[in-house]
Structure 1
Amino acid sequence: MKLHLQFRKIILTLLCIFFNAALFAQGNGKITGTVSDKKTGETLIGVTVKIKGTAKGLATDVDGKYALTGLNSGKLTLVFQYIGYTGKEISEVEVNAARNTVLNVVLEEASSQNLSEVVIKGSFKKESINALYAQQKNSAVISDGISSELIKRSPDKNTSDVLKRVSGATIQDNKFVVIRGLSDRYNSAMLDGGTLPSTEPNRKAFSFDIVPSSLVENLIINKTATPDLPADFTGGAIQIQTKDIPEQNFFNFSVGAGYNSASTFKNFRSGTRNASDYFGFDNGKKQLPANFPTSSQIINVLTPEQNVKALRSLPTDWNIYSRSALPTQNYQFTVGRVKELKNSGRLGAILSLTYRNSQTINKDVIRDYYDYNYRDDVYKFSTNIGALANFAYTYGKSKITFKNIYNRIYDDQFLSRTGANQNTQSDVKFYAFDLLQKSLFKSTLEGNHQIGERNAKLNWSLSYSNILNDQPDQRKVSYTRLFADANNPDVGYSANVSTLGKENTRLFSKLNENSYAAAVNYSLPVELFSQKATFKAGLTSQYRDRTFDVRFLGLLLRNDDTDIRERPLNQLFGRDLLDANIYKLDEIPNFQDSYTGNSLTNAGYLMLDNKIGDKARLVWGARVEQFNLDLQAKQASLSKVKQNYIDVLPSANFTYSLTDKINLRASYYRTLARPEFRELSISSYYDYELLAFQQGNPDLKRTSIDNADIRFELYPSAGQIVSVSAFYKKFKNAIETLNSDATSTRTITYFNSDKATVFGVEFELRKSLDFIAENDFLKATTAYANVSLVKSKVSNPSGSGLNLKDTDRPMVGQAPYVINAGLQHSFLGDKLNFNALYNKVGRRLAIAAGVVYPAVWEAPRDVIDLQLSMKVMKNKGEVKLNAGDILNQRNTLYYDQNANKKYDGGPADDTLSSYRAGRNLSVSFSYTF
């Protein structure tokens, strides 16, 4: 008791210190910002920033940033000067002693006729618009992005939701990104400059729902390649940059609650629940004990005593508990600190904790195809916890950052199935308890330095990441009763505990991957053809080490006993039966399913970013990547999978500025797609929801892709854009998924198609409506839309032995169209904001057709989200009201049996999966001290 009281005192003391530091951290006024080159967008190091009429001033750091502190309230004039550039004098910069004022500035090279002493005069408002223009126009490649400010104005809770808003991007399964209609395996993910590995055990994909949106500084999708980007992407390279040095000290907290029309306050069924589940961690009781018998011991038959001891050590609670589904809960606490040091140095830190819990129900999921006529009820309890700790230190012309992010997702699912199996002529009752724990930890140490007096830059980084995918004690039990006995009161449903198969085992699996990376990049301003240019070179290396272990265990009756098999689920494996040695512990030998793998990627690049005259810019060069992979199944008799090759990957991005508001872009680049560990492993996994096996293919080859893009960009005013793009992609050995059914057993596997071409157009618009009429209402209203139209054609491999049926088909995962649109309006001087968002993805091929089972298609659906946000309490607080997926249309995968290219439902089309996820309503409140 005494220890408990002392602990409470310590906690209360720390909280008091924490909140006092946050509440009284307000200092004097501050002006911060970034200075960049008007034509290239490159930040400028060493620009002199002075307050006119005073001696107070400093120079921009290695990121081109500056911070003037200790200022009194009022209006000031700042002077920016840099050798070789025309200076600027910005007036009407308003300082508030309680807030930070952000002023970003662009400087233009001085012409030969001008003297460096010439100074252009402008206002704070005008210069802010100029800086936004420069940021929009000066990307070296075709890209689309979204800033933290726009993220705040959407109802998005995590990065996967944010990606829905980016031109040409869509999301599958609420977490996997599709760019330009291409499947998620053709995209790469980067966090704070480092490549992220696949988070999934059975596919190449990154689960973007593990990165909370509130921690994102900006998110950019590069749709064309430059030599300094990793080459393993085709649709897009998604770069997520988290926040580091805050503009000023702050403490922010937010709380939120959500209601789902299909779930909240409804009857929620699940297995056993522990308090630790709410914090994202299993209490350990679902894991196999350390002294549990090995596979060889079980196969060689245990003694009765060993058998009973092993059975008792397994989780024995098979009860189905009923509760009321609670509303979704969201909490976040973020603290930012910045300290100005001598000689213009700065030390900053951002620490953040996030928490989310949801309980969702998908009732009456339809699975009605071939021999199956099932209805599933799926209950998922999910906890998501995240932590971010970013530190940065700038001194002179150098900056060191240390960024760390951890996220953990705890998904505990219970599935109850009823229906009929025509193949076995029986009614079915099926139950599955399935816990999946995923986590990501990534730590990056990075340095940026100016070298010499020519504005040369050296960047280096070291990073470590860990991916964990733990699936302890997935339990599946199936009860059946013959149709002929349906009306016989003496015959009940009988559990399948006499034979052992992957559809009725207890699965224990764990995937653990460590990744180590290092990179160094150097850039040097040079003069080429009497024009300024930038030479860049770099080296990177990444080593990945993965282990995947899986066991398939089961309890089998030693003697068939109808009375035992007809016991209800919570008594089927009762302690009385275990103690009496009625059940035998058995295991499916699966040494081919467990594997270890490692890969090493070394890369180097050379590139030039040079201007051609006053209007043209060419970014060109080549990247060389050497890749080595080794994968070995646990079964020693199986051959090791080895891949070792070198690729030379050229690229060129050309930009021509017709006017200050119009860009023309063209690009060519070569990229590739490598098969993942899982895709190369013959490991077989039974997906009880898809009613199919998933298996890899050790003969997969890498995909080589040639890409070409053109784009027209018009920037009517700051923050607005009109663009039209066209692209073409030619694939060699594209990696796709297939319904392999050579043995009439459906297995989803991977294969290389011979050739594939993808081409399309994109249109993007973001424009205020004041062009309709000059009034304040339309000026505060912005419409935005991005539309992608894509077409693909694939040639199936010949003589491969694969049972591919369709010879004329689109590429797997490619959508024919993608539509994102929205309308945003600001009221009361930006204190009240309304946002309406619309998304639709065209019918896309999910799995290519085999001979027996045809292609699987995903039906399109219309999604509308609404948000109303209001700033309160002197703009320090904000209330958000969100309505998500208000149309609540069905999520559907189906076989297009009547070949009319739309979903008609049974009996015209067979339904692989169809359900309504429910409408979402939520409210949140955030406050910043």
Structure 2
Amino acid sequence: MISILSYAQTGKISGAVTDKKTGETLIGVTVRIKGTTKGVSTDVDGKYILQAIATGKYTLEFSYVGYQTKEVSDIEVKSPATTSLNVILNEANGQNLGEVVVKASFRQESVNSLYAKQKNSSVISDGVSSDQIRKSPDRNTSDVLKRVSGATVQDNKFVVIRGLSDRYNNATLDGASLPSTEPNRKAFSFDIVPSNLVDNLVISKTATPDLPADFTGGSIQIATKDIPDNNFISFGIGTGYNTESTGKDFISGTRNVSDYFGFDNGDRALPANFPSRNKFNSGLTATEQTAGMRALPRNWNTYNNTALPTQNYQFTLGRVKDFKNTNRFGTLLSLTYRNSQTINNDVIRDYVNVDYHDNIYRFSTSLGALANFAYTYGKSKITFKNIYNRNYDDSYLTRTGFNFDRNRDTRYFAFDLLQKSLFKSTIEGNHALGENNSKFNWSVSYANILNDQPDQKKVSYQRNPADIGTDNYAYVASTGTLSKENSTLFSKLNEDNYSGGVNYTLPLKMFGQLATFKTGLTSIYRERTFNARFVGLRANTAAANADQIARRPLSTLYAADAINSGAYFLDDISGDADSYTANSMTNAGYVMLDNKFGEKSRLVWGVRVEQFNVKLDATVPSPQTSVDDNYVDVLPSANYTYSLTPKINLRASYYRTLARPEFRELASSAIYDYELLSLQQGNPSLKEAKIDNADIRFELYPQAGQIISVSAFYKKFHNAIESYNQDSGSSRIVTYINSDNVNVYGIEFEFRKSLDFIAKTDFLKKTTFYTNLSIMRSKVEINNSGINLLRTDRPMVGQAPYIINAGLQHSFLNDKLNFNALYNKVGRRLIVAGGVFFPEIWDVPRDVIDLQLALKVLKNKGELKFNAGDILNQRLTQYYDRDLNDKYNFGSTDETISSYKPGGNYSLSFSYTF
């Protein structure tokens, strides 16, 4: 009983040991409690953990061959907590090898290690730690990314870095590349990763040879947690209110219990016995026509409810097992759930030939699961990390207004369900080799992307104003012809990704200084199938009851009695290019050196070679729809750092990167976007873009955790990939083009500091102000005479002229109460390049303010959070800038593509950790 009680009243000390100059973790460092025989060695990640330490203060001794021994005192251990201490070691020179013992206090060393971590990055980068994430109102990774210098987020999930659109970024999760989660764009939906499971997040804005080369704005590296320091169970529950939605009338189609769990019950899927496209082409008998119409999902009923508050739940389990031989096994399991019912009310669409007002009702469920396992033994570590996310979005749109082309009053209805899922699994091994701290790393990964869009059905009713006062003045369904505007879409995208890589790191001596040589190989294979069917019922205008049926309300328009009476024909308008298969193979190899010259200079340089092959075939391949492109690119890079003082860095870099067309951007498949009244279609002639980049940066670290920096950058694009409003017909088609040359340049400023420089008071010391400001300019040159553009002297698509992030943090009551205020604004951006009839589409800037108040309760094991998001609730607006005056003027010659208020979000959540 006494021994059990004694063990229960002990704590732990854990941390990592790194080289002061390089930031590299050190393997095999001996960590010992001074005056005892109790000690451990750092593992392959440079981490250590001392367990079962009685409450009190201790001194730790860190010793390693070739480095000065360090003693760190005043380390306080409290039961049952884990005290975190990261340590940096200096190389020993020939004269004092093994003779000098460096002494520091716990507080001094904590500050020193944070300084070293900030300064030792080999590239220009910005990041967010798990501690910063915990103190922000951010629920998921996309929210976290908004706080990074030069970064912003579109549609609450797609990341824009340095003002460049999301297609110019790449992302890795736990070291493996993340595939695009979107069927119609190159983008990763960052809202799928819960923020509390992120160990750290770094955006590299310059390239090194060991990073994938397909980025220009930034390479986003997310590391999730694996081995926890302690066993724990935590849960969280929250609810939220949206000012435009919660408590308001909510209209939707049929709702099933399974919808709340993120899965459709199957009623909306195209039946297995539905006639194939080949069968349609060969002709259907009357019996087959009737059977097909009856089999087609035809539930057009709508239901009125009240939009409920958002709800979210989270459960996390951490377990760690320590073995006598210092081996450790850890696991982290997490489940998240979120449901929301949102209304975009009175969405204005007033441009070219329409004046519409939409109401959009969206029922959304998100499920997430994470399962990470890790085992450390000797100088090796094996991790097995898995993530699954599923998003279920069921939308209902109603539209009223006037169509000037048809000279008709219009009512339009659309039901749309989109089910998206991502599963990703990675096995990774890290091994120390020999006694010289060399490392061997390997990984294999599999990912599956699924986008299932069953039963997207649409119908339009028209009324002639000239018939006012007559019996003909009534809304009549436009079912006489079938097009992508009013057909039912059944589409399914499935993509499998396989990747693997090996890396080898070797420390060595060059020019009398410690250097690091690194080399590696990677391969990524992607395989996608996309199938789309556009089917529907076309009115038999010769039927005796055709006019009467066309005047029916939505719920009975396609009723069984109308089908049985011969009022409709079954049609399939799918094209040969609407379905496709595609695959790509990327092979890469690199070599790089990390050299030190004297005490202050560092150069990380090398070359990466990537070979890329992409193939795409439509259902019926042709020279116009097929793609078979092969590229080999040599990509040099050099990053130079000069440490002017222990607190100041000067950086300069050059690197070459690239941007590759996504499958969807190459596919000729044309999908109708009923919200934006346009077709989206790829371009099989699209080519790879190459980019030359140069950066300089000044960094000042006034104190640990604080920074003042100024950066400048320049980018030269060759064959930049941009979206474009095609002007070839009367209907808008959004497609993609290569712009011959694009020049982008800008500056960034970042400031993060406590306010105690104003006055030495405790209040200002606990108050931190931070801001980052980016100002960018770009110019496009296009020599392609076959493209009908309104103008070529324009900025690059997606390039924001400025980005502002700012925040104020303060801690009360010994950090038990934390307040955080955040501000974000993105300058006017070009969303789609334009022709003459359908000109450029621009995004209107808006001010976003978020607030959070967090209170620790129940002996710091519980936390109560109140969040207020987007409290100004300014309109989200996209428009045609007809007068070319670079500003939006509602009611003027400018035309509104989309404008609505998303609503302010107010939420309350509680979490507790056992």
- Is the shorter-chain TM-score for this pair beyond 0.5, marking a shared fold? yes
1:289 corresponds to: 271
1:755 corresponds to: 741
Unpaired runs of at least 5, structure 1: 1-23
Amino acid at match of 1:722: I
2:622, 2:666 → 1: CA distance?
Answer: 16
Conserved in 2, the CA contact under 8 Å of 1:25 and 1:249? no
2:885 corresponds to: 900
1:578, 1:156 → 2: CA distance?
Answer: 52
2:45 is equivalent to residue 60 of structure 1: no
2:156 is equivalent to residue 156 of structure 1: no
2:374 corresponds to: 392
2:757, 2:8 → 1: CA distance?
Answer: 42
The Cα of 1:39 is off from its aligned counterpart by 1.2
Deviations 1:161-192 (A, max 9, x none): 11111000011111111110111111111111
2:302 is equivalent to residue 317 of structure 1: no
The Cα of 1:126 is off from its aligned counterpart by 1.4
Amino acid at match of 2:655: Y
Conserved in 2, the CA contact under 8 Å of 1:26 and 1:249? no
2:354 is equivalent to residue 372 of structure 1: yes
The Cα of 1:647 is off from its aligned counterpart by 0.3
The aligned runs of 1:484-503 (5 Å cut-off) are 484-503=466-485
SS of 2:68 mapped into structure 1: strand
Task: Please point out which of 184, 209, 231 is paired with 2:191.
Answer: 209
Conserved in 2, the CA contact under 8 Å of 1:737 and 1:751? yes
1:733 corresponds to: 719
Task: Please point out which of 510, 513, 520 is paired with 1:531.
Answer: 513
Amino acid at match of 2:708: V
Amino acid at match of 1:428: T
Task: Please point out which of 585, 608, 614 is paired with 1:600.
Answer: 585
The Cα of 1:893 is off from its aligned counterpart by 0.2
The Cα of 1:148 is off from its aligned counterpart by 1.4
1:656 corresponds to: 642
Conserved in 2, the CA contact under 8 Å of 1:796 and 1:804? no
1:575 corresponds to: 560
1:506, 1:579 → 2: CA distance?
Answer: 20
The Cα of 1:456 is off from its aligned counterpart by 0.5
2:651 is equivalent to residue 669 of structure 1: no
Deviations 1:521-578 (A, max 9, x none): 0000011111110000000000000000000001112235111000000010112223
2:237 corresponds to: 255
2:768 corresponds to: 782
1:103 corresponds to: 85
1:927 corresponds to: 912
Conserved in 2, the CA contact under 8 Å of 1:307 and 1:581? no
Amino acid at match of 2:36: T
SS of 2:113 mapped into structure 1: helix
Conserved in 1, the CA contact under 8 Å of 2:626 and 2:684? no
The Cα of 1:581 is off from its aligned counterpart by 4.1
1:633 corresponds to: 618
Task: Please point out which of 308, 322, 327 is paired with 1:326.
Answer: 308
The Cα of 1:150 is off from its aligned counterpart by 1.1
Conserved in 2, the CA contact under 8 Å of 1:248 and 1:336? yes
Call closer, same or farther: CA 1:36–1:113 in 2, change over 3 Å.
same
2:777 is equivalent to residue 791 of structure 1: yes
The Cα of 1:97 is off from its aligned counterpart by 2.1
Task: Please point out which of 820, 828, 833 is paired with 1:843.
Answer: 828
2:52, 2:498 → 1: CA distance?
Answer: 42
How many pairs were matched up? 905
Conserved in 2, the CA contact under 8 Å of 1:865 and 1:882? yes
2:349 is equivalent to residue 363 of structure 1: no
Conserved in 1, the CA contact under 8 Å of 2:802 and 2:826? yes
Amino acid at match of 1:326: L
Select between 894-903 and 408-417 the one with higher mean Cα deviation: 894-903
Task: Please point out which of 420, 423, 429 is paired with 2:402.
Answer: 420
2:372, 2:907 → 1: CA distance?
Answer: 29
2:73, 2:574 → 1: CA distance?
Answer: 76
1:679 corresponds to: 665
2:707 corresponds to: 721
2:530 is equivalent to residue 544 of structure 1: no
Conserved in 2, the CA contact under 8 Å of 1:521 and 1:538? yes
Conserved in 1, the CA contact under 8 Å of 2:852 and 2:865? yes
Call closer, same or farther: CA 1:491–1:483 in 2, change over 3 Å.
closer
SS of 1:754 mapped into structure 2: strand
Amino acid at match of 2:706: Q
Give TM-score scaled by structure 2 length.
0.98
The aligned runs of 1:129-144 (5 Å cut-off) are 129-144=111-126
Task: Please point out which of 680, 688, 702 is paired with 1:702.
Answer: 688
1:5 corresponds to: none
SS of 2:561 mapped into structure 1: helix
1:858, 1:559 → 2: CA distance?
Answer: 43
Conserved in 1, the CA contact under 8 Å of 2:67 and 2:97? no
The aligned runs of 1:475-514 (5 Å cut-off) are 475-514=457-496
1:740, 1:115 → 2: CA distance?
Answer: 71
Task: Please point out which of 450, 453, 476 is paired with 1:468.
Answer: 450
Deviations 1:301-356 (A, max 9, x none): 32232222222222222111111101011100000001111221110000000000
2:175 is equivalent to residue 189 of structure 1: no
The Cα of 1:211 is off from its aligned counterpart by 1.6
The Cα of 1:589 is off from its aligned counterpart by 3.2
Amino acid at match of 2:500: A
1:898, 1:817 → 2: CA distance?
Answer: 22
2:388 is equivalent to residue 406 of structure 1: yes
The aligned runs of 1:243-282 (5 Å cut-off) are 243-282=225-264
Conserved in 2, the CA contact under 8 Å of 1:368 and 1:906? no
2:219 corresponds to: 237
Conserved in 2, the CA contact under 8 Å of 1:720 and 1:767? yes
Select between 273-282 and 113-122 the one with higher mean Cα deviation: 113-122
Which ranges of 4 or more aligned residues in structure 1 deviate by more than 4 Å? 24-27
SS of 2:112 mapped into structure 1: helix
The Cα of 1:27 is off from its aligned counterpart by 7.5
Call closer, same or farther: CA 1:530–1:313 in 2, change over 3 Å.
same
Conserved in 1, the CA contact under 8 Å of 2:7 and 2:52? no
Conserved in 1, the CA contact under 8 Å of 2:589 and 2:608? yes
Amino acid at match of 1:426: R
Task: Please point out which of 550, 554, 557 is paired with 2:539.
Answer: 557
2:3 corresponds to: none
* Aligned-pair Cα RMSD in Å: 1.3
2:786 is equivalent to residue 804 of structure 1: no
The Cα of 1:460 is off from its aligned counterpart by 0.3
2:432 is equivalent to residue 450 of structure 1: yes
SS of 2:563 mapped into structure 1: helix
Deviations 1:569-610 (A, max 9, x none): 001011222344432211103121100000000000000001
Amino acid at match of 2:632: I
Unpaired runs of at least 5, structure 2: 1-5
The Cα of 1:297 is off from its aligned counterpart by 1.3
Conserved in 2, the CA contact under 8 Å of 1:245 and 1:338? yes
Call closer, same or farther: CA 1:25–1:636 in 2, change over 3 Å.
farther
2:353, 2:651 → 1: CA distance?
Answer: 53
Conserved in 2, the CA contact under 8 Å of 1:304 and 1:581? no
1:699, 1:490 → 2: CA distance?
Answer: 49
Amino acid at match of 1:534: T
The Cα of 1:853 is off from its aligned counterpart by 1.4
Deviations 1:873-908 (A, max 9, x none): 111100000000010000000011122211111233
Select between 534-543 and 901-910 the one with higher mean Cα deviation: 901-910
Give TM-score scaled by structure 1 length.
0.96
2:83, 2:175 → 1: CA distance?
Answer: 28
Select between 286-295 and 450-459 the one with higher mean Cα deviation: 286-295
1:490, 1:26 → 2: CA distance?
Answer: 84
1:346 corresponds to: 328
The Cα of 1:490 is off from its aligned counterpart by 4.5
